[in-house]
Structure 1
Amino acid sequence: MSMYCDQCQETVDNEACTETGVCGKDAETSNIQDLFVWELKGLAYLAERARTEGIVDEDVRVFVVEGLFSTITNVNFDPEWFEGQIREGFELRRDLRERYEREVGPIADEALPDAATWEADDSAAFYRKAPEVGVQTTESEDVQSLRELLTYGIKGIAAYADHAYVLGEQRDEVFEFVQRGLAATLEDELDVDDLVGLVLECGEVGVEVMETLDSAHTSTYGHPEPTEVDIGTRDRPGILVSGHDLKDLEELLEQTEGEGVDVYTHGEMLPAHAYPAFEEYDHFVGNYGNAWWQQHEEFEAFNGPVLMTTNCLVPPNDSYAGRTYTTGVVRFPGLPHVDDRTDGEPKDFSALIEHAKETEPPEEIESGTVPNGFAHNAVLERADDIIEAIQAGDIRGFVVMGGCDGRHPDRDYYTEMAESLPEDVIILTAGCAKYRYNKLDLGNIGGIPRVLDAGQCNDSYSLLKIAMELQAALDVEDVNDLPIAYDIAWYEQKAVTVLLALLSQGVKGIRLGPTLPAFLSANVVDLLVEEFDIKPVDSVERDREAILEELESSPLVPAPSA
């Protein structure tokens, strides 16, 4: 075994990747990430101790959040970059400890966990240490499982917090929980009950951070509006933007105006077309391709440069690697990288733009349009129509089919489920799971589309908001009495945060697929089943019948006529 990683849905045999990651991450990168996460936990431990004494270091808070984001699946594949970050973490830790001891008093090394004191000068020592600090070093299987669940939920929180921070919004309580939750994974005296409490709190903070990001997006770019997005191509050179970061897209659009280059979105960037602020850019022309895992074919056919703004990078083929640019926390050895903003100035995309001018227009791989822009504001503007349709029996209910897409062959389940649901059932979605069915002609109910796409996985707050507002409007005490069923796909750690967020709001009966997380021990699975009735997806036929029974059991759905 040269590595051990079980944090994503596609991990080998639903157990762990032990030689190389299915994502393309090699053992060296996996191990150095393990060491970096362990160091971040130690830094968070010290920062949490300092915070209780009134000492808050903004640089440390941001470093921890961005560092966690960099270790999410399909973000950063560059071990040398992680080595540099580990060294920077040592410097931040030394500075914080010196400040603490200057203002509060000395701390003995024995009073701190190894993660908050260990240090080395050379890279070789990093790789010797890494196997000693991975997830398998926890003796209790259930404690290990809950520590992983908590850590991965916090990674998702960190990603959302980083996006909001870039747009100038943050909440102290979110950053504080990131530190406190990470520090707790080093506390050997915490038992299963303690960790379960922290996992549920992680879900509550997940709701809070997603609400913060929603506010950041809508206050900056306006509320998304229902939009038909072109999926064809034009005859000019293009730049393809993938990932999730709207700030990067905004700056690129500004810098490409009048340059004779069109800008297309890919994957999770599709929802950008629904924001009013982007309507003014005539060269922002449409969406190209599908979910992240189809990059090899789609990036090849695009011909122009690609900008990866966040997670969802697949290690590129040599044929297009030279025109794949990374930015932010995204890195891959040998790929050109657009540096971060400095002194409040925008990123400089000039090299990428000049590169685009030398390329052929994209090869057209499909045509037509795809609907988007049904975030909470757009849906709730029609709340009266929706409630009336429910009460009249025209809408039987909703199935939340948000989450992630991936390569797993069993994900065809979600296409087949969407096709098999009756015409009086509406699908609520967010995330790239929608690419399994968003181009199907599923019709509408009284002018309400049967697929309501709220946007990115980052926009999953909309799905919660819609449920909470309908609950209030219909005066329903228990959210589980709403005619809403949950059939969710997951892939990476942001999806873990969304799952915990749903659980924190009391949602029960969630179907999760295409497999349950490998990092959940049998006892932790039993706990989730007992407390929240979480269940793995089954066959489309059995799940469809069970979902319809759930919808029809809602006291809000009229009984069928005799």
Structure 2
Amino acid sequence: MYCNQCEQTSKGIACTVTGVCGKKPEVAALQDVLLFALKELSMYADQARQEGILDPEVNHFTVEALFSTLTNVNFDPQRFLDMVTKCVSLRENLKTKLSSSPNPLLAKNPTVAFAATLPELIKQGEEIGFLVDQKGDADLRSLQELLIYGLKGVAAYAHHALILGKENDNIYAFIHSSLAKIGNPELDLNDWLELVMQCGEINLAAMELLDAANTETFGHPVPTEVPLGHKAGKCILVSGHDLKDLKDLLEATQNSGINIYTHGEMLPAHGYPELKKYPHLYGNYGTAWQNQKKEFVDFPGPILMTTNCIQEPQENYRDNIFTAGPVGWPGIKHAPHGDFAEVIAKAKAMPGFSNDEDKGSVMVGFARNSVMGVADQIIAAVKSGDLKHIFLVGGCDGAKPGRNYFTEFVEKTPDNTAVLTLGCGKYRFYDKQLGTIGDIPRLLDIGQCNDAYSAIQIAVALSQAFECGVNDLPLSMVLSWYEQKAVSILLTLLYLGIKDIRLGPSLPAFVSPNVLDVLVKNFDLKPISTVEQDLTTILA
């Protein structure tokens, strides 16, 4: 086992015995096999596309399978065996459609016969190992790993958009062509660096596509107050990012007496008009993903995990939890998209909340339309000196020590500054009462990491209003990362030329010293230090 794709990786290097996330060595081996199979499929898909052959099933499978290898998504060995089997079937089907003269890349890389049983496939995965040679040149390896993890983030966003009927073949084409190149000895450092930057570009297209899918389906988010308590009655808790699953569940539970609560990444759902119109979408329960083991046990209804961020279910709530979409855990019941009959039956059988409880509330829904609706007030506040600086403090949350930095940072921002936030990193400070500047709240929740496109558009709009570049704005980004969607967002910010980003709580283990040096010199990317030092430097 060798896995270094998340911020929490063992000893800051790699997980080699078992995953800090709970991933077992056999699942790591199966994910390695799936990545290898996806690379082979991508080689044929890339060639097919050059011959004018497009296969929607291949495109859709690629992003879902790649998404399933993200941190905290799928831990079910049987599901990986099924995906490898399907990957081989799609590969062989593409072979029959190609011209009889394969290109040199296909000729040099004969396909592998993958095992048909779990024990054999696990053993094969252990022999194949990670897609990038760990004994090769450290900088070449670093850039290839950075590309792979960026592609995983792109695949996640493309999959979210696809569920809502939005797709873009340029995204599929880049994923296939990039995976096909992994391990190609003919590419040098400049080639890999260029591909990494292109990944940031294509991720911008994926985020724009997802933004269009969400806003066209559910409307543009509006400022909304979300209760943190609960009310008496039957209940279901929904976590993850899949707004369509939430919508389907809301429709299925209308007039049933069951209240729906969000958790973790699902909190921003309350701001979407087509979701908030359901009166039984009541409030938010719990905090970020890493706290679910201690929070889920007290929830008196079933829990539905959509898209990602599942932890090993504990015995005291194991019978109450369900997965959907790409999410999987061995032995946990899986609900097909839109079919939540078993979840609803479980809610009716469980006690629900026995009383009302008021725990206060938080505001969500400050996406780009809402923020730009008060742009004239923001601009006036900056010009008058009432608003000196804007901080974007967001990203992923996690259990590793050091993340209290982000809480302290927000708490210590001066009263004449504003804080934009997105991602589950906001759970470190989302309920802080920072006051207002005029009529504008100092803390503005843009949404989830899926809503990073909104943050980018806000920055671009402000730079246009002030007739300057984004890097000349009184705007600083202080980001926390955990998994691969955060990697793809960082690559997008670098592609856009945004500089002076502070990243923490630690830098990625897969970035070599030389690659980091390039990022520092070209983009002034820097690790977080202390709150006092960083605030002093930024505001100087």
TM over 0.5: yes
Give the whole-Å Cα distance in 2 for the aligned partners of 1:115 and 1:234: 60
Q: Which runs of 5+ in 2 are unaligned?
A: none
Pick from 4, 16, 40 the counterpart of residue 6 of structure 1: 4
* TM-aligned CA distance change 1:109 to 1:470, over 3 Å: closer
Find the residue that maps to 2:165 and give its secondary structure: coil
| Match status 1:245 vs 2:242 | yes
Find the residue that maps to 1:137 and give its secondary structure: coil
Pairs within 5 Å for 1:47-446 = 47-100=45-98, 104-107=99-102, 111-112=106-107, 114=109, 116-131=111-126, 132-135=128-131, 137-138=133-134, 139-340=136-337, 347-362=338-353, 367-446=359-438
Amino acid at match of 1:518: A
Amino acid at match of 2:512: S
Pairs within 5 Å for 1:506-521 = 506-521=497-512
Give the whole-Å Cα distance in 2 for the aligned partners of 1:270 and 1:110: 46
Aligned to 1:502: 493
Find the residue that maps to 1:401 and give its secondary structure: strand
Deviation at 1:282, TM superposition (A): 1.3
Pairs within 5 Å for 1:25-44 = 25-44=23-42
Give the whole-Å Cα distance in 2 for the aligned partners of 1:397 and 1:325: 43
**CA offset digits 1:111-170 (Å, max 9, x no partner):** 445474443334343223323231452411111111110011110010000111111111
Amino acid at match of 1:295: Q
Aligned to 2:18: 20
- Runs of 4+ displaced beyond 6 Å: 363-366
* 1:289 and 1:365 in contact (8 A); partners too: no
Pick from 490, 493, 503 the counterpart of residue 484 of structure 2: 493
Deviation at 1:446, TM superposition (A): 0.8
Give the whole-Å Cα distance in 2 for the aligned partners of 1:426 and 1:525: 30
Give the whole-Å Cα distance in 2 for the aligned partners of 1:109 and 1:306: 50
Aligned to 1:473: 465
* TM-aligned CA distance change 1:520 to 1:504, over 3 Å: same
* 2:131 and 2:182 in contact (8 A); partners too: no
- The CA RMSD measured in Å over matched residues stands at 1.5
Find the residue that maps to 1:99 and give its secondary structure: coil
Give the whole-Å Cα distance in 1 for the aligned partners of 2:340 and 2:140: 46
Counting matched residue pairs gives 537
Deviation at 1:270, TM superposition (A): 0.4
Q: Which runs of 5+ in 1 are unaligned?
A: 341-346, 550-562
TM-score normalised by L of structure 2? 0.97
TM-score normalised by L of structure 1? 0.93
* 1:430 and 1:453 in contact (8 A); partners too: yes
* TM-aligned CA distance change 1:110 to 1:155, over 3 Å: closer
* 1:537 and 1:543 in contact (8 A); partners too: yes
Give the whole-Å Cα distance in 2 for the aligned partners of 1:190 and 1:362: 59
* 1:511 and 1:534 in contact (8 A); partners too: yes
Pick from 453, 456, 475 the counterpart of residue 461 of structure 1: 453
* 2:363 and 2:445 in contact (8 A); partners too: yes
* 1:260 and 1:357 in contact (8 A); partners too: no
* 2:420 and 2:444 in contact (8 A); partners too: yes
* 1:429 and 1:451 in contact (8 A); partners too: yes
